[in-house]
Structure 1
Amino acid sequence: MSSFDAFARFYHADYGSFCDDLPFYRALLRRAAGPAIELMCGSGRLLTPLVREGFNVTGVDISPALLAQAKRNLDAAGIGVGMQLQLGDVRQPLSGDPYAAAFVAINSFMHLATVEDQLAALRHTHAALRPGGLLALDLFNPDPVDLLRHDNELVLDKMFALDDGTLVQKFVAQAVDMATQTSSVTFIYDELADQLVRRTTLAFSMRWLYRYELEHLLARCGFVLEALYGSYNLDAYDQSSPLMLAVAVSV
């Protein structure tokens, strides 16, 4: 069982309303003009609107529970029939015909916490793309000062409601290791109902990347970095950018 299966109950309620990146991926797929694959697709936050708009997108994730949630979301939108959802590990070969584009949204690539895992995922993605295929990676832009500001602090991140109306408090803590470029992250979800608190805890590691480290990884796996943006509005990347949004081409 994937460690993220327990997270599936909260994932869509937590992240499902985020759509700031949708115009970027819509433009990417229009440019690619062919079938695409979303790696580490989660509950289908992006898949659902993109497929609804007519794009041919396959979703891959390692968590059966998250894929089941994605299927429910697609079915609820009336677009689940014939939709390609694959249970798979991006560190292993990907199935399907050559794709015109691949993308990994909102920091998901950072769950690959070793160089070996990162290279494996990029190499298998390259093998799954047609020549000239596009790859987009949305990554956190690391700021050492900001990372250390809340090191080992437990912070109330947000409050939201599940589909059944249950109120959830989400707390986040992270322990930062600057030498290994990793954050040991803990999500705590407290469900508040009937004067009781039901707690679910998820612990995982994330490894951040720096600009030229990313470019080097891509080059080792057959990609050329075409553009690096600092926002979904395609602002130029600089040290103050909130994110690193990379677009690479398979060669």
Structure 2
Amino acid sequence: MGVIDSEWWALWWPWLVVWAATAACCAVLLRYGLIRAGRLRRRRRGGRTVHGMCFFLHEQRVMDLYQQGGFSAALEQEVADRINVTSGVGLRARFGLGGGKANRDVTKERVTAYIQHSTPITVIRLLMDTMRKEDVVVHADLTTGSLEPNRALAEILRERGASDRVALTEVMSEFVSVTGRFTARSADGGDIVLRAPYGDGRPRAHVKITCEAAGVREGFQNAEYADEEEFQARCLGKVRTWNRTRGELTLDPIAIFR
């Protein structure tokens, strides 16, 4: 019996190695395919945030959100997810050389280094993608009057038995992403004040955003928008106050893009 076993192994062990290697390669390919499929599904649901050109960034608020706002773990996972796409390809290419473990270690080091050396302009782009995935932002389009609640606000509305329609003036505790047609004016100290009308009331309501001079990015000059010229912009921030008498909704901006 021992002789038969020896002869059987001598005959079949090379094929068993080939089959095992083939199965492992198929498993890696399947994992990579599932990752790609998942990313494609996310892209069809909206994909990553299209930011545009950033012309105002409140760096302190950005870093406070990253460090204290509860997004650091999700942000680190977002970076890891992006890096792991290339690490999966590397694992497949070097599978025969046994380089899988080393590749994962390198990925971990890259994620850690990326987070530790991140800058506000880098963080805001990843942060906005992370906030979108976590569904913590209320989206408002001032030109169409549409408002899309986030998950938390939608849950509150359901508990109250209210409809999904809610006024922007009622969104006081959530992050908001507001898109509209703005005008710009200089203010004291070099600040720039943006305003955008919305709604059908009389007098018409408007959003007011004060861009502190220290956060205005190079290249954005008020002179470009003189004489009440309008431009399309999108602001990520939080509602500070609503003045019913003036019809003025004041936003504290985190970042503004056009």
TM range (shorter): under 0.3
Bigger radius of gyration: 2
TM-score (norm 1): 0.27
Q: As a proportion of its length, which structure holds more helix?
A: 2
Greater relative CO (CA pairs within 8 A, separation 6+): 2
TM-score (norm 2): 0.26
